[in-house]
Structure 1
Amino acid sequence: MNETQQPGFAEISNLFLRNGCLHSPAELHGDLCGQLCAGRQPALDAWLIQSIQFMEAEQLDSSNSKVELAELLETTTSGLQDEELGFSLLIADEDYSLNERMQTLLEWCEGFLSALADNQQFKEGALSEELKEAIEDLEQIASVSEAIDDDEQNEQDFFAVSEYVRMTAMMLYTECNPGTPDVMADQSGAALQ
């Protein structure tokens, strides 16, 4: 995988705040991942424009913001292509409450599903049955609305759900972008060794 590390949730949240945006960066990242899974790789300039529009800003506050958004595009793309399953969701980390982390996961799913809904391939159902079911699962995850207690069982459940979402995105990318590394084949091959 590329040696550049994906900017963290707090870092991109700060970028949003510097640019006067109160939206969640998780939703923007989910949308980007949905576009990439659908085979729509945005050029850097198009990605920057899309990000500015999402933030409802007139322009970015600094060249640092452009660099951070460019890194997010680059690391997300390389993460989805990573044979070693290095892709990560841009959601709140352990520094946030479980409810806040769950909320950002829901926002990520909403952005992801929105990008997929804009693509004819997904409307026509040209996916494997496994991925059709996984997308239905993501729709259910995105519709969760109740608060959850900060306890060990819910923490484990959150980890399992977020890992399921992460793997679904990687599997979808692999299925819809032939010629990229086969995530599932690499994973099953590693299990045999």
Structure 2
Amino acid sequence: MSAAFDYDRFDQLFRQLGAAGYPAELHGHLVGRLSAGSRLDHGTWLDVAREVIDGRGAPGEADRILLIQLYDSSLAQLAGSGFDLQLLLPDDEAPIDQRTQALGQWCEGFLGGFGLVARERALSEEADSVLADFAAISQVQSDLEESEANEVDFMEVMEYVRMAVLMLFSECQPAETSQDQPPASLH
């Protein structure tokens, strides 16, 4: 796992900054914006991240680099041809209720980030359905007991979220305009 997706490292950063937000929420917000078609320069992303983190202090140089790596890695994963999108969540060793709560925070962040981006056309029915599902997931109760059934349910929901994000990303990207082509002449 790359440092950009080390949940514990982000959790430590959020605690150091006295953050009101959560690491999963930050990543969801970022992926929501990217999925909706937004692109941010690194400076703007750091400003957005500082807002979502909502801490008492500003991230130091190493933390800013980590946040930029998260941005770059997330965009690369979304734009890549594979299905290698990672969600910034606690690892499998964390208690199931903590992972479930983080997945809810991730979905909540996604909805917030996605909703901030203006779109040129309406979403498909399938995309609207996904956003409704994410809203339901964000309301998840986190008092789950450790059990094989809860583990399987969590993995299925997490996989659904990953695949749904990739679908939303592909639906919402602006159409490529071929501005590099000279206009056709009318001879």
TM class, shorter-chain normalised?
A: 0.7 to 0.9
Partner of 2:137: 141
Contact 1:38 1:119 in 2 (8 A): yes
Q: Deviations over 1:43-92 (max 9, x none)?
A: 10011111122223465342110110010000010011121111111111
Residue 99 of structure 1 aligns to which amino acid in structure 2?
D
CA distance in 2, matches of 1:53, 1:141: 23
In the alignment, is the contact (CA less than 8 A) between 1:106 and 1:144 conserved in 2? yes
How far off its partner does 1:4 sit?
Answer: 6.1
In structure 2, C-alpha distance between the alignment counterparts of 1:133 and 1:93, rounded to whole Å: 28
- Paired letter, 1:94: D
Equivalent position of 2:181 in the other structure: none
Q: How big is the shift at 1:179?
A: 6.2
The root-mean-square deviation of aligned C-alpha atoms, in Å, is 2.2
Asked if the contact 2:100/2:142 (under 8 Å) is kept, the reply is no
CA–CA distance in structure 2, aligned partners of residues 5 and 81 of structure 1: 20
Q: Provide the C-alpha distance between the structure 1 equivalents of 2:79 and 2:59, rounded to a whole number of angstroms.
A: 31
CA distance in 1: counterparts of 2:154 and 2:15, whole angstroms: 27
**What's the counterpart of residue 14 of structure 1?**
12
Partner Cα separation in structure 1 for residue 84 and residue 175 of structure 2: 18
Closer/same/farther in 2, CA of residues 42 and 157 from structure 1, 3 Å limit:
same
Residues 149-173 of structure 1: CA distance to partner in whole angstroms, max 9, x if unpaired? 2100110010000110111111100
Give aligned-pair identity as a percent.
Answer: 31
**Structure 2 runs not aligned, ≥5 long:** 177-187
Q: Unpaired runs of 5+ in structure 1?
A: 181-193
The size of the alignment, in residue pairs, is: 176
Q: Kindly indicate whether the alpha-carbon contact (under 8 Å) linking 2:96 and 2:146 is maintained by their aligned counterparts in 1.
A: yes
Q: Which residue in 2 is equivalent to 1:77? A: 75
Superposed, 1:111-150 pairs within 5 Å as 111-121=109-119, 126-145=122-141, 147-150=143-146
More displaced stretch, 171-180 vs 81-90? 171-180
- TM-score normalised to the size of structure 1? 0.82
